[in-house]
Amino acid sequence: MSGNVATDDVSDNVHVPMEDNVVFVVGSPRSGSTMLARMISSHSVIYGRPEPHLMTPLAHLGYFANVDKAPFDHVLAAESTKEFVADLPGGEQDYIDACRAYSDLLYSRMLSTKSGKRYFLDKTPAYGLILGFLEKIYPNAKYVVLTRHPLAVFSSFAESFFDSDYQAAHAYNPIIERYVPAIAKFLRERRVPIFHVVYEKLVSDPEPMLKGIFEFLGVPHESSAVDYGKHAHEAKGLGDPIGVAKHSRPSTGSIDKWAIEIVSDPRRLQLCKQIIERLDPADLETWGHPLEGLWAPLERAGATGAVSKPKKLDRYRLERKAIVALRAQVSRHDSLRRLLQRLRLATDVLLRE
């Protein structure tokens, strides 16, 4: 991986190529990607920033994909964009170049503010659903792909954002059915440089895994990076609000504890079985968690007879409980929904400049 980006006086440049200097950490939400990104960005020449979300809006501007709803006629805008691009000298390639120029400029100018940093790490879980677009824009960038037991991902998602209401979490976002096929396809086709990391292997033996990642990225190995908690990291932005701050280095404590959450509730277990039945066994194999061993953590949890313990109520969990309760009230009472919509309109008017 060659460091050919010039970070001096970058603000004077219109377009600084970043493809050799950008690293994408790809993983579903709640897969451990915040921890992995912090490990990698603990390297002395790599700067990581939690979830910039630069590429997701670009992917849905209309040429490759549309948003479902926008404050303008996005259907007409998409058609007009396609007609415009069709008449460009280079056609679609010109559009791809323009998208790359946009992100190159932002990545490079952010990097220019970080002394000694030559590589920008972008860890945005939502990119797992726009990988076809991402590999068009950055076909030669480096992609570190993280996968974790799919039910561990779902359990963490439900616990973190829905107060362990698995049914509500799945109804809101069936992340397993969305992310497993998309990332498995990406891993299988390997159209771009990829290093696949399985979460359970990473936390069990992090040093050789991290060494392999640095070799893949083309940077010297720095063994101290495994102790990510001893390094300074950008605090602004989205990311894991609970787990990553509890440890200063990878821990095996979360490998199987999620299974107790599931087996202790028959409704959760039944829902998880239905989710797995919808997945292609070939995708699970590529994901790194083949079907034949998928249920082993739950079988071990069931054999112990352990039950899930109540979670400590901190500020974050209290906020989530309040949001879950209010969302349920809004879904049941049209009058409350209409009141909130009027309040939103009123605040929009008051804050309009």
pLDDT of 104 over the 90 cut: yes
307 and 317 together in one domain: no
What digits encode the pLDDT tens for the residues 36-92?
999 999 999 999 988 999 999 999 998 899 888 888 888 898 999 999 999 999 999
109 and 142 together in one domain: yes
Distance CA 18, CA 127 (A): 18
- Residue 214 amino acid letter: F
Q: Is 147 helix (H, G, I), strand (E, B) or coil?
A: strand
* The residue to which tokens 């590589």 are assigned: 119
What digits encode the pLDDT tens for the residues 29-50?
999 999 999 999 999 999 998 8
Q: Domain with 286 in it: what CATH number?
A: 3.40.50.300
- For 307, phi then psi, to 5°, come to -120, 155
% pLDDT > 70, the chain: 84
163 and 304 together in one domain: yes
What digits encode the pLDDT tens for the residues 9-18?
444 444 567 8
pLDDT on residue 6? 43
pLDDT on residue 133? 97
* The residue to which tokens 């990878």 are assigned: 250
> How would residue 253 be classed by pLDDT, with cut points 50, 70 and 90?
confident
Burial of 101 (0-12, 13-18, 19+ CB in 10 A): middle
pLDDT on residue 313? 58
pLDDT on residue 2? 42
Distance CA 56, CA 311 (A): 33
In a domain, residue 40? The reply is: yes
In a domain, residue 178? The reply is: yes
Average pLDDT over residues 122-147: 97
DSSP letter assigned to residue 249? S
188 and 264 together in one domain: yes
179 and 251 together in one domain: yes
Burial of 229 (0-12, 13-18, 19+ CB in 10 A): middle
What is the CB neighbour count within 10 angstroms for residue 350? 7
30 and 179 together in one domain: yes
pLDDT on residue 339? 85
- For 145, phi then psi, to 5°, come to -105, 125
pLDDT on residue 334? 83
What digits encode the pLDDT tens for the residues 295-347?
999 999 988 766 666 666 556 566 666 666 676 677 777 888 888 888 887 88
244 and 255 together in one domain: yes
Domain that holds residue 317: 312-353
pLDDT of 134 over the 60 cut: yes
341 and 225 together in one domain: no
- Which region among 87-91, 164-168, 176-180, 330-334 has the lowest average model confidence (pLDDT)? 330-334
252 and 275 together in one domain: yes
In a domain, residue 17? The reply is: yes
In a domain, residue 2? The reply is: no
Q: Is 121 helix (H, G, I), strand (E, B) or coil?
A: strand
190 and 338 together in one domain: no
pLDDT on residue 1? 42
- Which region among 114-118, 271-275, 303-307, 313-317 has the lowest average model confidence (pLDDT)? 313-317
Rounded to the nearest 10 degrees, the angle between the axes of helix 206-217 and helix 33-40 is: 60
- Which region among 136-145, 266-275, 306-315 has the lowest average model confidence (pLDDT)? 306-315
